[in-house]
Amino acid sequence: MGRRARFRGVKRTSKRLEGDILDRSKSLWEDPSILRPKCAGNCRKCVFDKTFKRISKLEKIKTNPDALVKMAGRGSDDIFKAYAGTISLYASGSVPYTATAKIGGEELLYVPRGAVGNDKLIGCQHYDDPKVRLMLYNAFAKRKGLILYSFDDQLICSNYDNMPEDYIYDTFWETPYEFPNDELECQHSKESALVIRIKSADRRIRICKNCARDVSSLQYLLSRMISEDLLSDVEVFVEHNYHAEGESGTVEIPLDKIKQYSVGKITDKGLIAEVLREKIGNLRNGETATYVIGQTNYGSDTERFISALKGSDFEIDALRKYLNDYSDSIIIQTDRASEALSSIWESSYKEILTSFTSEETAENIGDASKKNPQAVLSEAYRMEMSKDVVKSLPKFRHLGPVGRLADIYAKASKVGGSVMLTEEFEKNPPRNYHSRALAKGFSLCMLDDPDAIRCTKEEEDLGRYLIPFIRQLVDSVGEDYRHSMSTLITATGCGESVD
């Protein structure tokens, strides 16, 4: 596994580093058992017995540096040779020369001795580093089918998957995550999350999508292990809520993807995002409707989903009618009906409008894919409600500017009352004396707000005078509407005629 560069305190001089190597050489000279892994397996006979029996025989020559160096060049036991070469340094009381090796971006000082690989010497001379010391055992452990776990000042050996709990915590605490009580799981239990399960310890690391960082927690977990199969003891999966009714909310990550994740080619954050993109895409393209708000999955229960939304009556009613007619999944983060509409509007606006009003109205609206859904729904509702009203009213071949406003305001009042009339004031504001007087009359007649139309005292007086004519127009149907329109226009004094 790659080694992350670490910087501890001030940069030491080479003499000080040489002194550190001598200190570690002395510790090994005094107690070779420091190098012996602690057993957590069930081997019939320990494979390290032979090595440490040979090491014990060095007792007779341990004060003779030349003899120790000779022993560091004999035989095929690399652990024995690395030990002999390392303790020869203390026996001689000096470091004749040094070399450096770059491990994971960090330069390490070591002393070449005997006929043994530099990696074994580095591992032995840096036995107090949980990652570096594994270099001493790597080839031997794999050859013997052993699994080693290195953490703190401990090296645990087993012949089967048996990850210590302390090892799990120690490696996870190297990650950027800091969860409450230094635990392995964040507290966001309802969020979609990445889960790494260590089977032998029956423990799991759980990181929700909001806490996830661009690091590989699995890479940290495996960084201080030796095993022929580093992945045999772990399962990786993503828990999520983006599933159809009756389906599982867990996605097991396949082995080829776990291999990429274990070496940092995929991060915690990236792995969660990849799974969620796929699941959300599957939901939206599936034949069964599924509704999700945040972390709550409503399955295919349309009414329960609609009841959870907040928004205008237009939005709620349009969604209810559309989802009763069409099977369409909606996945949103908040309970806003506007977000639900927006998520499907561009691709389904015509069907939504048809369900909400009629096919004719949807056709008359035209391409509304890029328009604001609520504004379009309001316009569609007005058009739909106006159809029956308009059918009962005569068509005018010609109306002047004041007559046209009177017709718009009257139809709005008939169809949608004060709400629609207010909207028409905004869409079709009065521009001159007679128009403002007419609008003021409509506002005084139909609205509770006396300040809806701002005008002069003279315009307001004319508007008050027009109130009975406006009421008569709004209440009229058929040819009576034409007659009432003519009477109102004459009363305004604008000089227009009705044809």
pTM for the model stands at 0.69
Task: Answer yes or no: are the C-beta atoms of 222 and 259 closer than 8 Å.
Answer: no
Distance CA 116, CA 373 (A): 75
* Furthest C-alpha separation in the chain: 129
Task: Answer yes or no: are the C-beta atoms of 84 and 71 closer than 8 Å.
Answer: yes
Structure tokens at 129: 């580093």
Task: Answer yes or no: are the C-beta atoms of 331 and 343 closer than 8 Å.
Answer: yes
Task: Answer yes or no: are the C-beta atoms of 111 and 125 closer than 8 Å.
Answer: yes
Q: pLDDT at position 158, please?
A: 97
Q: Is 190's pLDDT higher than 90?
A: no
Task: Answer yes or no: are the C-beta atoms of 363 and 451 closer than 8 Å.
Answer: no
Distance CA 98, CA 89 (A): 11
Task: Answer yes or no: are the C-beta atoms of 405 and 430 closer than 8 Å.
Answer: yes
Structure tokens at 16: 């000080």
Q: pLDDT at position 174, please?
A: 94
* HSE-up of residue 57 (Cα within 13 Å, Cβ side): 9
Q: pLDDT category, 12, cuts 50, 70, 90? A: very low
Name the least confident of 229-238, 283-292, 468-477: 283-292
Q: Is 276's pLDDT higher than 80?
A: yes
- Give whole-number Cα distances, 314 to 253, 319, 339, 377, in Å: 43, 9, 14, 7
Residue 433 burial by Cβ neighbours in a 10 Å radius (0-12, 13-18, 19+): middle
Q: Is 108's pLDDT higher than 60?
A: yes
Q: pLDDT at position 106, please?
A: 85
Q: pLDDT category, 499, cuts 50, 70, 90? A: confident
Type and span of the H or E element at 1 = none
Q: pLDDT at position 353, please?
A: 94
Structure tokens at 316: 């709620």
Is 398 in a helix, a strand, or coil?
Answer: coil
| CA quadruple 362, 364, 367, 373: dihedral sign | negative
Task: Answer yes or no: are the C-beta atoms of 402 and 410 closer than 8 Å.
Answer: no
Q: pLDDT category, 33, cuts 50, 70, 90? A: very high
What percentage of the chain exceeds 70 in pLDDT? 97
Distance CA 93, CA 87 (A): 10
Residue 397 burial by Cβ neighbours in a 10 Å radius (0-12, 13-18, 19+): exposed
Quick: pLDDT tens for 233-257.
999 999 998 887 777 889 999 999 9
Structure tokens at 49: 């017995």
Residue type, position 397, single letter: R
Task: Answer yes or no: are the C-beta atoms of 291 and 298 closer than 8 Å.
Answer: yes
Instruction: Give me the mean pLDDT over the 114-126 stretch.
Output: 94
Distance CA 198, CA 185 (A): 13
Beta strands across the sheet bearing 234-239: 203-208, 193-198, 234-239, 250-252
Q: At what angle do helices 433-446 and 478-492 cross, to 10 degrees?
A: 130
Distance CA 466, CA 78 (A): 109
Task: Answer yes or no: are the C-beta atoms of 439 and 463 closer than 8 Å.
Answer: yes
What percentage of the chain exceeds 90 in pLDDT? 71
What is the chain's mean pLDDT, rounded? 91
Q: Is 337's pLDDT higher than 90?
A: yes
Quick: pLDDT tens for 407-425.
999 998 888 888 889 989 9
Q: pLDDT at position 14, please?
A: 67
Is 91 in a helix, a strand, or coil?
Answer: helix
Structure tokens at 36: 């012996």
Q: pLDDT at position 415, please?
A: 83
Residue among 489, 304, 328, 269 nearest 401 (CA):
489
Task: Answer yes or no: are the C-beta atoms of 75 and 56 closer than 8 Å.
Answer: no
